């Protein structure tokens, strides 16, 4: 194992657990509910945004012969009929149908802490940070293994012929690069200047445009095929962690709070997993970064020991989407949700806790 070890894999998770479960007195030096001006504007916009119903259809703790340990990443199959979950701790891929029934468990001695990068035609690409490898699965079998670059904290995304790699870290020159079929970087790379924590976060691709999310601020960077770059502020993002975000930026606390553990881009819409202590909330933004919809359950229960890790989205009809979400607390599980923008939660106040 390289000097980077597995620490990079767990940076997002570790900081997120701290932000959700509370903060020691050493990192919370003074209570404050003040927000940055941009965040204050977003909170007001969110309060005026329609809230639609998020329905939990089923939950699974794993296949009958293979219970979840650390279900770290999740992806729908290209046709939406199957759901693939990579269990990083057990080095296996669990496959479910749309009814939540286990279909297959993919096991291979070449799997080492697999993370799902995405689909290239009918092949599923896995990234293995501890082995510095990509693995290509076809029809559930390992067809190819090729090397990946190294970095302290790394993220990947795959779609058809596109394969991207992001590496960031303290005292490390962060970058985003496209990889060729052999896993070698295609120059020029995109340099990520500034504090490394600003660029920690997942990647996604839609229509050959790369979206690089910032987990600790409501911001997404876009990289276009012709080399152009732009940055979107997610206008309308509201979170109970925004006050702590301001304190961190002012040097009052030691760790930035996790705001966006995962996000996906589908139908030119940006779906953001906006964590709450006990329930799932999904925010939807247009291509200009403006909040369009909020999806929440009709009833919630407070649970500080609640931590979702990853989300995938599948379009299921006009105004209807399905979401697969994996979480490790309170129990490792896969949840399947239905998002229906036509079913409004009239008169419901936004849940702030």
The per-residue pLDDT for 281 is 96
Q: Do you know the residue count of the chain?
A: 353
Token pair, residue 308, equals 């979702």
The per-residue pLDDT for 4 is 38
* 290-325 confidence digits (pLDDT tens): 999 999 998 888 888 899 999 999 999 888 999 999
The per-residue pLDDT for 274 is 94
Mean pLDDT of 329-340: 95
The per-residue pLDDT for 211 is 98
Asked if residue 31 is part of any domain, the answer here is no
Asked if residue 349 is part of any domain, the answer here is no
Radius of gyration of the chain (CA): 19
Contacts of 24 (CB under 8 A, 6+ apart): none
pLDDT bucket at 350, cuts 50 / 70 / 90: low
Is residue 236 within 8 A of residue 290, CB to CB? The reply is yes
Please state, rounded to an integer, the average pLDDT across all residues of the chain: 88
The per-residue pLDDT for 18 is 40
Mean pLDDT of 80-107: 96
Asked if residue 33 is part of any domain, the answer here is no
Q: Any idea what the CATH number is for the domain that residue 56 is in?
A: 2.120.10.30
pLDDT bucket at 2, cuts 50 / 70 / 90: very low
The per-residue pLDDT for 347 is 55
What does the alpha-carbon distance between residue 18 and residue 262 come to, in Å, rounded to a whole number? 17
The per-residue pLDDT for 351 is 53
Asked if residue 197 is part of any domain, the answer here is yes
Is residue 212 within 8 A of residue 248, CB to CB? The reply is no
The per-residue pLDDT for 32 is 64
Is residue 226 within 8 A of residue 207, CB to CB? The reply is no
The per-residue pLDDT for 31 is 56
Token pair, residue 27, equals 């990192």
Mean pLDDT of 227-238: 95
The per-residue pLDDT for 21 is 38
The per-residue pLDDT for 9 is 45
What does the alpha-carbon distance between residue 48 and residue 196 come to, in Å, rounded to a whole number? 34
What does the alpha-carbon distance between residue 89 and residue 114 come to, in Å, rounded to a whole number? 9
Asked if residue 282 is part of any domain, the answer here is yes
Minimum mean pLDDT range among 73-77, 200-204, 277-281: 277-281
The per-residue pLDDT for 10 is 43
Counting Cβ atoms within 10 Å, is residue 242 exposed (0-12), middle (13-18) or buried (19+)?
Answer: buried
The CA–CA distances, whole Å, from 119 to 61, 108, 134 equal: 24, 19, 13
The DSSP secondary structure of 28-83, one letter per residue, reads --S------HHHHHHHHHHHTS-EEEEEEEEEE-EETTEE-S-EEEEEE-TTSSEE
The per-residue pLDDT for 324 is 98
Is residue 215 within 8 A of residue 227, CB to CB? The reply is no
Asked if residue 352 is part of any domain, the answer here is no
Asked if residue 142 is part of any domain, the answer here is yes
pLDDT at 232 exceeding the cut of 70: yes
Contacts of 320 (CB under 8 A, 6+ apart): 338, 339, 340, 341, 342
Phi/psi of residue 284, each to 5°? Answer: -125, 125
Look at 292 and 181; give whichever has higher pLDDT. 292
Q: SS3 for 188-219, per residue? A: EEEEECCCHHHHCCCEEEECCEEEEEECCCCE
The per-residue pLDDT for 25 is 34
What's the total number of domains in the chain?
Answer: 1
Asked if residue 30 is part of any domain, the answer here is no
Residue 290 DSSP symbol? B
Hunting for tokens 């979401």 — which residue is that?
323
* 135-158 confidence digits (pLDDT tens): 999 999 999 999 999 899 999 999
* 95-126 confidence digits (pLDDT tens): 999 999 999 999 999 999 999 999 998 999 99
* 6-43 confidence digits (pLDDT tens): 434 444 554 444 444 334 333 444 556 799 999 999 99
Range of 292's domain? Answer: 7-24+38-344
């Amino acid at each position: 194992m390289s000097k980077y070890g597995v620490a990079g894999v767990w940076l997002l998770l570790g900081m997120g657990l701290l932000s959700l479960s509370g903060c020691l007195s050493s990192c919370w030096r003074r209570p404050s509910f003040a927000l940055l001006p941009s965040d204050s504007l977003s909170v007001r916009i969110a309060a005026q945004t329609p809230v639609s119903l998020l329905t939990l259809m089923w939950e699974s703790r794993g296949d009958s012969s293979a219970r979840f340990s650390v279900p770290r990443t999740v992806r729908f199959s290209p046709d939406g009929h199957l759901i693939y979950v990579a269990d990083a701790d057990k080095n296996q891929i669990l496959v479910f149908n749309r009814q939540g029934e286990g279909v297959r468990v993919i096991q291979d001695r070449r799997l080492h802490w697999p993370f799902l990068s995405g689909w290239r035609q009918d092949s599923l690409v896995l990234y293995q940070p501890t082995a510095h490898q990509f693995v290509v699965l076809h029809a559930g079998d390992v067809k190819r293994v090729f090397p990946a670059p190294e970095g302290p904290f790394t993220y990947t995304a795959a779609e058809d012929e596109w394969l991207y790699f992001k590496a960031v870290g303290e005292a490390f020159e962060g970058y985003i690069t496209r990889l060729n079929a052999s896993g070698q970087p295609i120059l020029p790379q995109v340099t990520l200047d500034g504090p490394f924590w600003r660029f920690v976060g997942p990647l996604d691709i839609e229509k050959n445009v790369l979206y690089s999310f910032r987990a600790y601020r409501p911001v997404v960077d876009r990289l276009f095929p012709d080399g152009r770059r732009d940055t979107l502020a997610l206008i309308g993002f509201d979170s109970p962690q925004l006050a702590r975000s301001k304190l961190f930026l002012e040097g009052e606390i030691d760790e930035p709070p996790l705001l966006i553990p995962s996000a996906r881009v589908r139908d030119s819409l940006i779906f953001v997993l906006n964590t709450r202590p006990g329930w799932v909330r999904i925010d939807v933004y247009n291509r200009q970064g403006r909040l369009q919809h909020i999806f929440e359950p009709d009833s919630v229960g407070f649970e500080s020991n609640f931590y979702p890790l990853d989300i995938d989205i599948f379009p299921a009809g006009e105004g209807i989407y399905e979401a697969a979400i994996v979480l490790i607390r309170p129990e490792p599980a896969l949840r399947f949700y239905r998002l229906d923008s036509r079913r409004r939660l009239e008169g419901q106040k936004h849940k702030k806790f």
